[in-house]
Chains A and B, each alone.
Chain A
């Protein structure tokens, strides 16, 4: 038993960082120095902003209020270069999170192979690797949530501390925490008093956070479109579940249900959390820990079951293993090709524009434009938290679809847009589905637009209508 525990800890300490470093290793061999995931670029810029200006409420580049998130002020306290902050810190937090999860599972009396499989599934999951190679707010809020649950399970009054911090980090994950506390209290009467204290602390802290910092509270809960393609990694999602882990978790869920070891409240919380994670990608990391536990139960059950044909059992287990590894390898390969050097070169070229210029591109490219070019992006992945988002989105769609120079010019002038950055993804369906569609026709044929840069990964067009007049 002791040796198994040692194996598990070794797996956490050795395998996890190796897998998390793999995308960087693969990129390094391709001569690519970019980070993984777009969020990293925004986080680095925010951390730098906090380092330079202290606690500030406004983003001077994007000229908008900053949504208060304790992650950035906390990380700004670390005196290290951006590579260390973007790569090492998330990996360390990732290892710590896996370790907290390990302690939590042990506390839940999940032991032996179930524990081993659960931990291993977590570590090799694309979502875990993505989350902890990407400097985002989840890397703080997920371990805080796990820590709250662990401390509550251990009857420690310290459980109030992580939930208070969590209230200032991410309200959506806080709600998940509240649901988890309710599930624990429903299953164990002895935890109710502490549960209420923890809950009350969380709710008070959340109220303070909303009153003090969340200016657009409703927009914090803007949902993503829950399509299969953005939920499962194999179908193209970056921050998604692996299909095979999901399938195993479904089997594990049925086994758990049959065992009658969990309360109906816990089952409802699991289902609600999974359903909510389809709409809120940030919830996927904490939900992954539940799925991994269920998947571990399923694998253990398959391994322990007496099969009529033992070789079929071995083959099935090998298939499961291969499928999990395959998903991980495919994900690592995709991550290693994220943000090619050519694209960085194209975006960096934008820094030659005037500091007041605004760049129109896909929301996806927003953080990169802000980080590499230090220019204002008309839309970025944070835009949805701001009241003028709908208007901006509508304007950008009107510009993209406009074949009338007068209309496009008017909208661009009104919004101060001077440059348009077009990448391959925008051309292959994200914005346009055919050549010469909408604005593309104007970009290619109108004298008012000049292509100032082009390489394989991007084209930059400058609006020169004013100078022609």
Chain B
């Protein structure tokens, strides 16, 4: 690698990291969806053990997850505050995507300038950038590792010295997250495509694929056996309530999808696929094509959450873009325009900037979906003024934050695995605020043994409600704030229970 390339790569890495950290530190708190992981990391920091039996989530349940990522973050939590750990470390790891994308692109296009451009594009894939900045998402680590495994798979075909690297990245990816299944399926489809395209099969490829496939199947069977036996094949959807899946798939237009995945990766990626299929076949592109095809099929079959699917699709399309961009760059050299390649690079950078700058406000908005300071104060009030076993009703997306700050059980949070009546719980937790009749609300609240309900600022702003519809009623007393403020979070104590058959309350 040329020294100038190293400098440019360092510059790109710095720009990507700076952009991520700048947005992450725009808000003092973490995103609402970070708190499940925060609680797990803090538990590991305090006890050295993962939080498998969580007494607060759903009023007490078993959690199923691979704790490797949480252990990694807990290491930093030993010396740094949790907010700093979650804002800095995952963003550093995510920024490393730039380096991986560079090497992958270089192996595809054999051109360092093209690889640098791909590295830059990979740092600003809109869906990846927006959804992983302020929540410590595990995808910060999964995406670079996914691309690294792909890179080593391609490298091993050319040079067996990379085999140990490949094995280790495969193991790490599998241990970290079930997303390794995407790569395992992609590799099987890759084998099929190789046969269809009459490529000569390297003898090392089936070995690595066999090993990886069986490792993925074995480890996921062990880790997720319980959820598989409870949910069956639908465990792949992580038992996400159907309302959420319908919302995520139903609320996005084709244009939004294109913009989310990234316009440049999509155009260049499709061009690469076209060239590979109809003009000049290339084995490395076949692998990336198989990955794109797998993710596309999974999105189409709704076998993956839409945002997660787009994150993987964006990363895969960015990697495959290197091929067409490389051809474009090489062809620009023969144009009768002076410095045509430089102009091409500048155009790509300009396009990337034009397309990405409006996205910064979206990224800021998503990263800014944190609990407000007033909501946090209300949670702390609950911690200090309510009995330790009081179950609190709050919106599902806020429940982990509430349990984190208030240390009280919730009815439903955003980890849905192993919950048998998840659709009903989700419906109850999102609709109890609109119940006009106290009997209807009490039926729900009594069932989950809810003692307090909290109407947060987030809930008020998101759903445009100022108080639960059944208020005022003697069965629900406002206990926070003591003043009759119109705005700000409100906490109500539930005083009544429905009388059942036989006089039982």
B423 proximity list for chain A (CB < 8 A): 433
B237 part of interface (Cβ distance < 8 Å)? no
Contact A447 to B221, CB < 8 A, known contacts A308-B160, A316-B211, A433-B421:
no
B235 proximity list for chain A (CB < 8 A): 235
Who on chain B is nearest to A315 by CB?
Answer: B211
Who on chain A is nearest to B447 by CB?
Answer: A435
Interface of A is mostly: helix
Complex partner residue of B500 from A234, A236, A309, A445, CB under 8 angstroms: A445
Contact A227 to B233, CB < 8 A, known contacts A234-B228, A436-B443, A444-B500:
yes
B485 part of interface (Cβ distance < 8 Å)? no
Complex partner residue of B204 from A243, A308, A433, A436, CB under 8 angstroms: A308
Contact A447 to B501, CB < 8 A, known contacts A235-B232, A434-B421:
yes
Please choose the segment from A136-144, A284-292, A319-327 that sits at the chain B interface, where 4 or more of its residues have CB less than 8 A away.
A319-327
Expressed in whole angstroms, the Cα–Cα distance for A402 and B222 within the complex equals: 41
Contact A236 to B232, CB < 8 A, known contacts A308-B204, A436-B443:
yes
Rounded to whole Å, the gap between the CB of A316 and the closest CB of chain B is 5
B167 proximity list for chain A (CB < 8 A): 312
Q: Assess whether B424 is in contact with A433, with CB atoms less than 8 Å apart.
A: yes
A31 part of interface (Cβ distance < 8 Å)? no
Interface of B is mostly: helix
Complex partner residue of B218 from A302, A326, A330, CB under 8 angstroms: A326
Complex partner residue of A308 from B207, B215, B222, CB under 8 angstroms: B207
A267 proximity list for chain B (CB < 8 A): none
Who on chain B is nearest to A424 by CB?
Answer: B420
Rounded to whole Å, the gap between the CB of A376 and the closest CB of chain B is 28
A348 part of interface (Cβ distance < 8 Å)? no
B496 part of interface (Cβ distance < 8 Å)? no
B213 proximity list for chain A (CB < 8 A): 247
Contact A319 to B214, CB < 8 A, known contacts A236-B228, A428-B421, A433-B423:
yes
- What 1/0 mask marks residues of chain B from 405 to 424 whose CB sits below 8 Å from any chain A CB? 00000000000000011011
A272 proximity list for chain B (CB < 8 A): none
A18 part of interface (Cβ distance < 8 Å)? no
Who on chain B is nearest to A428 by CB?
Answer: B420
B279 part of interface (Cβ distance < 8 Å)? no
Contact A320 to B214, CB < 8 A, known contacts A227-B233, A326-B221, A434-B421:
yes
Expressed in whole angstroms, the Cα–Cα distance for A319 and B222 within the complex equals: 12
B111 part of interface (Cβ distance < 8 Å)? no
Q: Assess whether B207 is in contact with A307, with CB atoms less than 8 Å apart.
A: yes
Who on chain A is nearest to B222 by CB?
Answer: A326
B163 part of interface (Cβ distance < 8 Å)? yes
Expressed in whole angstroms, the Cα–Cα distance for A228 and B303 within the complex equals: 14
8 A Cβ contacts from A419-439 to B: 428-429, 433-436
Rounded to whole Å, the gap between the CB of B430 and the closest CB of chain A is 14
Name the residue in B208, B228, B235 with the highest tally of chain A Cβ atoms < 10 Å from its Cβ: B228
Expressed in whole angstroms, the Cα–Cα distance for A82 and B211 within the complex equals: 47
Rounded to whole Å, the gap between the CB of A260 and the closest CB of chain B is 16
A436 proximity list for chain B (CB < 8 A): 443
8 A Cβ contacts from A207-256 to B: 227-229, 232, 234-236, 243-244, 247
The number of chain A residues touching the other chain, given as a range, is 35 or more
B75 part of interface (Cβ distance < 8 Å)? no
Number of B interface residues at 8 Å Cβ cutoff, please give it. 32
8 A Cβ contacts from B207-250 to A: 207-208, 210-211, 213-215, 217-218, 221-222, 225, 228-230, 232-235
B443 proximity list for chain A (CB < 8 A): 436
Expressed in whole angstroms, the Cα–Cα distance for A319 and B217 within the complex equals: 9
B221 proximity list for chain A (CB < 8 A): 234, 243-244, 323, 326-327, 330
Q: Assess whether A235 is in contact with B207, with CB atoms less than 8 Å apart.
A: no
Q: Assess whether B421 is in contact with A309, with CB atoms less than 8 Å apart.
A: no
Complex partner residue of A247 from B217, B222, B230, B424, CB under 8 angstroms: B217
Q: Assess whether B217 is in contact with A243, with CB atoms less than 8 Å apart.
A: yes
Expressed in whole angstroms, the Cα–Cα distance for A227 and B231 within the complex equals: 12
Contact A234 to B229, CB < 8 A, known contacts A428-B421, A444-B500:
yes
Q: Assess whether A309 is in contact with B163, with CB atoms less than 8 Å apart.
A: yes
Expressed in whole angstroms, the Cα–Cα distance for A334 and B226 within the complex equals: 11
B461 part of interface (Cβ distance < 8 Å)? no
B4 part of interface (Cβ distance < 8 Å)? no
A313 part of interface (Cβ distance < 8 Å)? yes
Contact A312 to B211, CB < 8 A, known contacts A235-B228, A327-B221, A429-B420:
yes
B160 proximity list for chain A (CB < 8 A): 308
Expressed in whole angstroms, the Cα–Cα distance for A327 and B207 within the complex equals: 23
8 A Cβ contacts from A427-469 to B: 428-429, 433-436, 444-447
B203 part of interface (Cβ distance < 8 Å)? yes
A247 proximity list for chain B (CB < 8 A): 213-214, 217
B230 proximity list for chain A (CB < 8 A): 236
Question: What are 6 A-B pairs with beta-carbon distances under 8 A?
Answer: A235-B229, A235-B232, A236-B230, A244-B221, A315-B211, A319-B214
The chain B residues found within 8 Å of chain A, CB to CB, are 160, 163, 167, 203-204, 207-208, 210-211, 213-215, 217-218, 221-222, 225, 228-230, 232-235, 420-421, 423-424, 443, 447, 500-501
**Extra contacts besides A309-B207, A319-B215 (18): CB < 8 Å:** A228-B233, A229-B234, A234-B229, A236-B229, A236-B230, A243-B221, A244-B218, A247-B217, A308-B204, A312-B163, A312-B167, A319-B218, A326-B222, A330-B221, A429-B420, A433-B421, A435-B424, A436-B443
The chain A residues found within 8 Å of chain B, CB to CB, are 227-229, 232, 234-236, 243-244, 247, 302, 307-309, 312-313, 315-316, 319-320, 322-323, 326-327, 330, 334, 428-429, 433-436, 444-447
